[in-house]
Amino acid sequence: MKRRTIILVLLAALLVVLASFPGLAGLVVDWYWFEALEFETVFLTSLGTKLGLAFGIGLIAFAFFFGNMHAAQRGIVPDLVLVSVSPNMPKIELTRLLRRLSWPVALVFALLLGLSGTGNWLTLLRFLHRMPFGDVDPVFGKDIGYYLFTLPMISVVLQLVVALTVMALLIVVPLYVLRRDVVLHGRRVTIEPSAQLHLAGLLAVLFAATGANMFLVRIPSLVYSTAGPLFGASYADLVVRVPVFRVVGVVALVGVVLVILGARTGRLVRNTVAAGALYLGISVAGMAAAAMMQKFIVDPNELVKESPQLEHHIAATRRAWGLDEVVTRALSGEATLTLADIQANSGTVGNIRLWDRGPLLQTFRQLQEIRTYYDFRSVDDDRYWIDGKYRQVLLAARELNTASLPTRNFINDRLTYTHGMGLTLSPVNEVSPEGLPVLFIKDLPPVSTVSLGVKRPEVYYGELASDYVFVNTRQPEFDYPLGDSSAFTTYRGTGGVRVNSFLRKLLISVRFRSLDVLLTSLITRDSRVLYHRNIAERASKALPFLVWDHDPYLVVTDEGRLKWILDAYTVSDRYPYSLPVGGGTNYMRNSVKVVIDAYDGTVRAYIADASDPIVKIYASIFKGIFEPLDAMPADLRAHVRYPNDLFRIQTELYAAYHMDEPDVFYAREDQWQIPSASPSEASGDDPFLRHMVMKLPGETREEYITMTAFTPRQKDNLAAWMVARSDGAHYGQLVVYRFPRQSLVFGPTQIVNRINQDTEISRQISLWDQRGSEVIRGKLLVIPIEESLMFVQALYLRAEGGRIPELKRVIVAHQNRVVMEETLHEGMARLFGGMIELESRPAAVAAAATGPVGEATETQIAELIGQVSEHYEQALAAQRVGDWARYGEQMRLVGELLRQVQEMVGGEGGR
């Protein structure tokens, strides 16, 4: 019998191990990943805190449940309860069975509570590392940090106490009934004295926790009230609910005394019912009183009664969303642009974006994907110094899409096709004679025709890379197509986890549920497995306590490496009086910038807002993973930008919260709105949120900014425009340029109406439509120049059945004049009367304006062609040995020489 028991126990243990092995394997493989990333502190701190919470809560819960069950089953049961399971088996004494089941039942309930408590691991850590905000709430005078870090922890503890007590009551009351210690006689309940004391103790804990919750949680939480006309404590909350909650809290504490006295006098049930009824009665009466005050006293005099609370709400919302630091500048609203103004802002006009992301992405996909298994997921805006000029560009990473591979199997998906290749980069304003974008970086491997080059073009980590792959295996890695053949490569980076033992190979095989990983002979001890390669997933895995912007963007460093920059936010839904947005968030800071290397997957996190208390707490919890922003390399720092999601929320809020006077805010006298897009324009989010390179009014040089426009509510004229600055020392500054309320400045909708009413434009669009072509209207650009505005809209034409939009016309508008020409410069020349000379002029326009370049002789052309051949041969030689830096440089020279030949040939033709 003993041997049989031992065998059963061993089998049960084996089953538990086998059942939990996949989870354990996943945990170990996660550890390998964090270790390779050098983020061990995140893994260990989060896991250790979760285990500590589970063990601590579980231990307390087990002791509490077992102790209560043991107390409920003490003594002799006068009337045994016997249960017959089968006629052939002896009857079972139920009370004895339940006594034996006490510890398993307590253990199950303890495990459930312990596991449920692990979700509060970050709440506990924030509480333990809490620090003050330095601001106090205007009602109770507590530091804001109390509401963000201490109050949530108090709430969790009290919820745990209530849960323990209620569950214990649900367990012990049936036990007492079964043992006949609690007997129902009609409406009368008889309770054995020791049972009364036990139940009174539990009920006293429940009443005490309820009273403490009222004083410590419910009253302070009124700063999040939505009962009034605004978010935060209203007049009725402060005048009625606060006193009522205090009375109710006192009643709950009185209930503690009543139930204890009831246990001693034999009146436990009567006293408990009396205390509960009094508690509920006062609560209901208080709710009714607050509702009546709101309806009969506050609503008829709402502005007078709510003005102080409204002032608190406005100030808190502005602080929590960073709107209190917005700089406001006034514009005259009467300026008329001249040719001299255009020339003085040549850097702005020379970077006007003619290519919208949507049409450009379609064009990139048709011209530069090259193979079906490559894909451009999105197009990013950025700025670079190119050939000595500050240029705004649009770029997209050419990523590998394994779902489009012609043959799907383990070797292709996991060992051969492992990475994307390079990117395509185009200036925002240059157009070829065919109406296509001019490409500064293109083809496979990437070739640059400008000073910006790519030396490490492989994209192992990106927005599409979602599958695990193995590198440094016996299977050659596909690098890029090379004519009718393919070029192969070997991974030379340090990314991923080394598969240097059979145990690791086994664990990885179990983690990814792939027997091929375990059985293949192509994976060696030098191989590495790369996983969590999607940059959004990778960042969230490495820093799970941050919230992420939806638009990561690619950067080419000075060394020619590709790196992704992601904006991360610290957020809270506990900021007093601040208005919450989607998901309940009412505090947000762009406190962290994260950089991920596209080749080796390195993750580096930089603190962008050192004044944010939340990120200070995270830096204290997870030591060593954050670096100051000054530590970011200069070539990456030059591409940091203000995040889109935060700016979008701030502009939506600022449309109302620029009114900081309660009476003005209440009446919505000066509320703004973000203009809506015309249905005929290219689709996309935020039609008037733009990244631009421009010179702001009063500044001396161009800079990279994010901009949006405002119109008065339910009006079409322009009221103001807002920018977020991204360059240098001005990074993060929000500036609003306001037009006088008495002036009329045409807004986007009015300009669109003028464009639609222009007979020349309407006739041309109708002519294209009649020929079966699809006309795509680009997004209307609002271009601030000095203290005035210019509007630009590109028109794209896509042939019937075609997929490549071609830029055919550019519409330029200023005040009440609208023109349409083939190029932006021709449109501005017609609008302002003169030839526009700019620093950054599109090549096609520059050639048309300046004409042939010099006298081109046959000898000079022949010499140039000879140099082209020489550099091309050197490029091929570099390609054969894998020297991509020299290859790119030689191809750049080839491009420059061919351009000179084209100009000379054009010059000969002109004469």
**Tens of pLDDT along 573-611?**
999 999 999 889 999 999 999 999 999 999 999 999 999
pLDDT in tens, 692-723: 999 999 888 999 999 999 999 989 899 999 99
Q: Is 105 helix (H, G, I), strand (E, B) or coil?
A: helix
Give 846's pLDDT tier (boundaries 50, 70, 90).
very low
Average pLDDT over residues 787-807: 88
Residue 441 to residue 443: CA distance in whole angstroms: 7
State the Cα–Cα distance between residues 203 and 787, nearest whole angstrom. 71
Decide: 495 and 460 in contact? Cβ < 8 Å.
yes
DSSP, res 521: S
Answer yes or no: is pLDDT of 71 > 90.
no
Grouping H, G, I as helix, E, B as strand and the rest as coil, residue 765 is: helix
First to last CA, the chain: 111
Q: What is the DSSP letter of 836?
A: P
Answer whether 152's CB lies under 8 Å from 200's CB. no
CA gap 240, 711 in Å, rounded: 40
**Angstrom distance (rounded) from CA 509 to CA 811:** 59
**What's phi and psi for 13, nearest 5 deg?**
-65, -40
Secondary structure of residue 164 in the 3-state scheme: helix
> What's the CA gap between 110 and 95, in Å, rounded?
22
Distance CA 93, CA 90 (A): 10
**Nearest 5°: phi and psi at 52?**
-60, -45
Average predicted confidence (pLDDT) for the chain: 87
Of 90-99, 147-156, 533-542, least confident by mean pLDDT is 90-99
Bin 328: left if φ > 0, else alpha if -120 < ψ < 50, else beta: beta
What does the alpha-carbon distance between residue 121 and residue 45 come to, in Å, rounded to a whole number? 10
The closest alpha carbon to 447, from 418, 480, 402, 475, belongs to 480
Runs of H (alpha helix) within 644-758: 644-657, 662-667, 748-757
Which SS3 state, helix, strand or coil, does residue 454 take? coil
Q: Are 906 and 847 in contact (CB under 8 A)?
A: yes
Among all chains, which residue has been given the structure tokens 């028991």?
A: 5
Pairing of strands 603-607, 626-628: parallel
Percent of the chain with pLDDT over 70: 87
Which of 539, 530, 537 is CA-nearest to residue 29? 530
Tell me the per-residue pLDDT of 493-520, one tens digit each, with 9 for 90 and over: 999 999 999 999 999 999 999 999 999 9
Give 118's DSSP letter: G
- Which pLDDT tens digit goes with each residue over 241-263? 999 999 999 999 999 999 999 88
Residue tagged 């390399």 (tokens): 633
- Among the ranges given (175-184, 205-214, 383-392, 813-822), the one the predictor scored with the smallest mean pLDDT: 175-184
**Digit-coded pLDDT (tens) for 81-116:** 555 555 665 655 656 666 777 888 889 999 999 999
Q: Are 792 and 350 in contact (CB under 8 A)?
A: no
What backbone phi and psi angles, to 5 degrees, belong to 508?
A: -65, -40
| Residue 862: half-sphere exposure toward Cβ, Cα within 13 Å | 3
- CA pseudo-torsion sign 582, 586, 589, 592: negative
Whether residue 414 contacts residue 468, with contact meaning beta carbons closer than 8 Å, is answered with: yes
User: Which secondary-structure segment (H or E) carries 672?
Assistant: strand 672-673
Inter-axis angle of helices 268-293 and 193-213, nearest 10: 20
Q: Output the CA–CA distances (angstroms, integers) from residue 138 to 220, 308, 485, 568, 658, in the order listed.
A: 12, 10, 72, 30, 21
Distance CA 158, CA 160 (A): 5
**Cα–Cα distance for residue pair 607/617, rounded to 1 Å:** 12
- Which range is least confidently modeled, 655-664, 817-826, 890-899? 890-899
Indicate the SS3 state at residue 452.
coil
Residue 491 near residue 526, CB atoms below 8 Å: no
Provide the 8-state DSSP code for 401. Answer: -
What is the C-alpha to C-alpha distance for residues 387 and 629, in angstroms, rounded to an integer?
28
* C-alpha distance from residue 264 to each of 176, 278, 447, 758 (Å): 18, 21, 90, 93
Structure tokens at 740: 């006088």
pLDDT confidence band for 340 (50 / 70 / 90): confident
Q: Please, what is the angle between helix 102-117 and helix 40-72, to 10°?
A: 150
Q: Please report where in the chains the tokens 């492992």 appear, as a residue.
A: 418
**Cα distance between residue 135 and residue 576, in whole Å:** 11
Instruction: Check if the beta carbon of residue 577 is closer than 8 Å to that of residue 223.
Output: yes
Q: In which residue are the tokens 């290749």 written?
A: 421
Query: How confident is the model at residue 859, as a pLDDT?
Result: 59
pLDDT bracket for residue 854 (50, 70, 90): very low
| Continuous H helices in 821-883 | 824-832, 843-850, 858-881
How many CB atoms lie under 10 A from the CB of residue 485?
7
The full length of the chain comes to 911
Bond before 174 cis per omega within 30 degrees: no
The pLDDT value given to residue 75: 63
**In 3-state terms, the chain is what percent helix, strand and coil (to 5)?**
50, 20, 30
pLDDT, position 793: 94
151-178 helix and 193-213 helix, angle to the nearest 10 degrees: 160
CB atoms within 10 A of CB 293: 19
Q: What is the pLDDT of residue 180?
A: 74
What pLDDT score does 183 carry?
76
Specify the DSSP class assigned to residue 855: P
Mean pLDDT of 326-335: 86
Contact 29, 496 (CB under 8 A): no
Residues 6+ apart with CB under 8 A from 106: 61, 62, 65, 66, 69
- The H or E element containing residue 28 is helix 2-37
DSSP string, 752-763: HHHHHH-HHHHH
Please tell me whether residue 331 adopts helix, strand or coil conformation: coil
By DSSP bridging, strand 327-330 and strand 734-738 are: parallel
Which of 529, 521, 471 minimizes the C-alpha distance to 29?
529
Select the more confidently predicted residue: 687 or 65. 65
Pairing relationship of beta strands 703-712 and 188-191 according to DSSP bridges? unpaired
Question: Model confidence at 904, in pLDDT bands (50, 70, 90)?
Answer: low
What is the distance between the alpha carbons of residues 316 and 284, in angstroms, rounded to a whole number? 31
For 99, residues 6+ apart whose C-beta sits below 8 A from its C-beta are 73
User: Which residues, at least 6 apart from 209, have a Cβ–Cβ distance to it below 8 Å?
Assistant: 158, 161, 162, 165
Q: Which residue has the tokens 């004469």?
A: 911
Query: Predicted confidence band at 414 (pLDDT cuts at 50, 70, 90)?
Result: very high
How many Å separate Cα 374 from the centre of its chain? 26
Residue 179, pLDDT score: 75
Cα torsion angle, 55, 60, 63, 66, sign: negative
For residue 343, report the phi and psi dihedrals to the nearest 5 degrees.
Answer: -65, -40
Are 824 and 856 in contact, with CB atoms under 8 Å apart?
A: no
Would you say residue 845 has pLDDT above 50?
A: no
